[in-house]
Each structure stands twice: as structure tokens, then as C-alpha cells.
Amino acid sequence: MPNRAPNRMLDEFARMMTDAAGAAQGVRREMETVFRAQGERFLNQLDLVQREEFDAVREMAMKARMENEALKKRIADLEAKVAGGASDPA
């Protein structure tokens, strides 16, 4: 059985490599968790808004702008009516 010693060494080496690969995966998962947490913390510090909130405020601003334009036109029409009525000697 002189070949048994090299096989045992290869088995031990394979076991060590498997353990090292498992440890490396564990470290990778831990690093991903740390980076994800740091990224979330950084984004929270930027005071960003969610897309839904942004879209809701944008829609409100567009509606207010349209209402503002309609009111401007109404005021201009009323001013024209008042200016036209003031020139009539009634």
C-alpha cells in the first residue's frame, strides 16, 4: 500500500480547498451585506425621494400650472371687459 499516502495527502488537500471555498463564500456574503448596508445608509443621507412621491408632486405642479394659465386668461378677459365697459358712456 505505498500509494495510500499520496491519496491521503490529496484527500486532505481537497478537503482544505473545499473548506477554504466555503469560508470564501461566507466572507463574500458578509462583505455584500456590509456594502449593501453602507450603500443604503449613504442613499438615506442624500435625502432622496421615492419615484412615486416625485411623480405625485410633478402631477400636482402640472395641474397648478394649468389652473394658473386658466386664471391668467380669465383675468385678462375680465380686464378687457372692464376696460371696454369703462369707455362706454352709459
Please measure the distance between the N-terminal and C-terminal CA atoms of the chain and give it in whole angstroms.
Answer: 129
pTM reported for the whole predicted model: 0.44
For 3, 75, 81, 88, the CA distances from 8, given in Å and listed in that order, are 9, 96, 105, 115
Look up residue 68 and give its three cell numbers.
Answer: 394658473
44/74 same-domain check = no
Interval 46-74: pLDDT, tens:
878 889 999 999 999 999 999 999 999 99
14/34 same-domain check = yes
Backbone angles phi, psi at 3, to 5 degrees: -80, -10
Look up residue 65 and give its three cell numbers.
Answer: 400650472
Interval 4-55: pLDDT, tens:
677 888 888 888 989 888 899 999 999 999 999 998 888 888 878 889 999 9
1/32 same-domain check = yes
42/57 same-domain check = no
- For the chain, what is the domain count? 2
Residue range(s) defining the domain that contains residue 13: 1-48
Residue count of the chain, please give it.
90
